[in-house]
Structure 1
Amino acid sequence: MRPQKSIDGERLIAVFSDLVAPLGKALPASSEVVLHDLSRLPNSIVAIYGDVTGRRVGDPATDLLLQLTIAGDFDHQDAYETVLPDKRRMRSTTMIIRDVAGNPAAALCINTDLSSWIAVHDIARAMLGAVAERPEKSIPDAAAPVTETFVRDVEELAQQLLSTALADAGVPVELMQKRHKIAVVRDLRARGMFLLRDAVETVATALNVTRFTIYNYLNELGEDDDAPGDAALPHPKG
């Protein structure tokens, strides 16, 4: 399910890797520029400038980028808002870089911490005599923030995906029937969980079933040969 490497894609990634630092230096210090090699998902970060999210080269993609990859949604994502775990609001843009054949090769992301800008906005309104608004309403016409988790390792990403899917199921694992567990697996597949190494074992443990059961659930969901993104894991033999 992850995009495949290509010679032109590798060339583009090399070119954009050299542009990440100059672009980051041209932006305010509250911004971060990140380049993802989509063929390396989940540990896709190959270049980064800035420290807004605290990530480094070799760290994984966000849950949102995984989900868009699974859905094949490789359109640009412009100026969407996200919220960090410490409640800071960010404005993010993701540009998909395609090779000469039109296949997605990389994602160039710009994340800007809005905290200081919100504070300046509120001060300006107060100085002009306007009633100060609550910080979360300070940016006019702002769209509702997108849920996106910025993690520093695959284990943290896996736990985030699992906790979200289990919470959405609305049924404690110990009370789940087969239909509930299949629904959780379907949700996790859509979120890109099975792009992660050892995903089958991780999900099996969380749902109190064997990994063979997870493969059976995936087969029932229409993946007869390979669990999405689980190419590193051989399908178990009977």
Structure 2
Amino acid sequence: MDRTLDAERDAILAAMTPVVDGIAATFGPVCEVVLHDYRAPEKSVVAVAGSVTGRTVGGAMSEIGMRVLAGGDEAGDELNYVTRTRGGGLVKSSTMVLRDSTGAVFGALCVNLDIGAVGAAHRLLGALVGADTVPAEVPTTTFGNDIDSVVDALVEAHRSKQRGSWAELDRAERLELFGGLDARGVFAVRGAVEQVAGRLGISRASAYSYLSQARAAHDTPGGSA
């Protein structure tokens, strides 16, 4: 890594740190702002203000960060998306990527708003006027301070969509599992292949083989992972 470029990225993160506190102070206790340095995915949180998802400095990126990593320098901002924490809380978030002077993505500024109270008020008002206020189904996101819990949650989420244990899956289903995890950015994290192998009860060599095959299928015209 070019030291000048590294210094530039450090300077951008340092300049963004007061912004983290400023945004959180503006929106109050329902707001959490997290600054990420994706050069170290396992401890990407370099600044945090507020407490909506329980993030702490030195904590790992979430699966949203993994998705950004998977997008590489083509990744874009993701604004005003709604997700649910594993504890059931409803959160509206925006993730804005940080780029250096070369255009390379190296971090992100994330804003999380706890909209659970707003949703409760909305349902109450809807009940009073007789409106249908059943909330739409929203995805559950794992916000963890250690990368292992995030990877485990993603593996479990993909496995739950399939028909059984690893031994019961056919080759296409196994490739789909690895392709899905790869698309979510799981394997951008150091040691993730070994962790996924352990989670599935297969050898490290088998995990690398399925990942390679899934990527080859994805890159083949007409193929899919």
CA deviations over 1:145-177 (Å, ceiling 9, x no partner): 344221221221121011012123333222234
Q: Find the residue that maps to 1:110 and give its secondary structure.
A: strand
Partner Cα separation in structure 1 for residue 126 and residue 160 of structure 2: 40
Q: Does 1:190 align with 2:183?
A: yes
Shift of 1:124: 5.4
Match of 2:168 among 145, 168, 175: 175
CA deviations over 1:58-117 (Å, ceiling 9, x no partner): 111111220232133521111111112232211111111211222112211111111222
| Residues 1:118 and 1:222: Cα distance change in structure 2 (over 3 Å) | closer
Q: Which residue of 1 aligns with 2:211?
A: 218
Partner Cα separation in structure 2 for residue 54 and residue 133 of structure 1: 32
Q: Which residue of 1 aligns with 2:219?
A: none
Alignment of 1:27-38 (within 5 A): 27-38=27-38
Shift of 1:45: 0.9
Q: Which residue of 2 aligns with 1:108?
A: 109
Shift of 1:118: 2.6
TM norm structure 2: 0.82
Number of aligned pairs?
211
CA deviations over 1:121-153 (Å, ceiling 9, x no partner): 455567xx623654627xxxxxx6344221221
| Residues 1:135 and 1:219: Cα distance change in structure 2 (over 3 Å) | closer
Unaligned runs of 5+ in 2: 217-225
| Residues 1:64 and 1:219: Cα distance change in structure 2 (over 3 Å) | same
Q: Find the residue that maps to 1:169 and give its secondary structure.
A: coil
One-letter amino acid matched to 2:175: I
- Measured on the aligned residues, the alpha-carbon RMSD in Å equals 2.4
Q: Which residue of 2 aligns with 1:57?
A: 57
Q: Which residue of 2 aligns with 1:70?
A: 70
One-letter amino acid matched to 2:185: G
Alignment of 1:33-52 (within 5 A): 33-52=33-52
TM norm structure 1: 0.78
Partner Cα separation in structure 1 for residue 161 and residue 26 of structure 2: 41
Q: Which residue of 1 aligns with 2:98?
A: 97
- The percent of aligned pairs where both chains have the same amino acid is 27
Partner Cα separation in structure 1 for residue 111 and residue 46 of structure 2: 14
CA contact (8 A) 2:86 2:140 kept: no
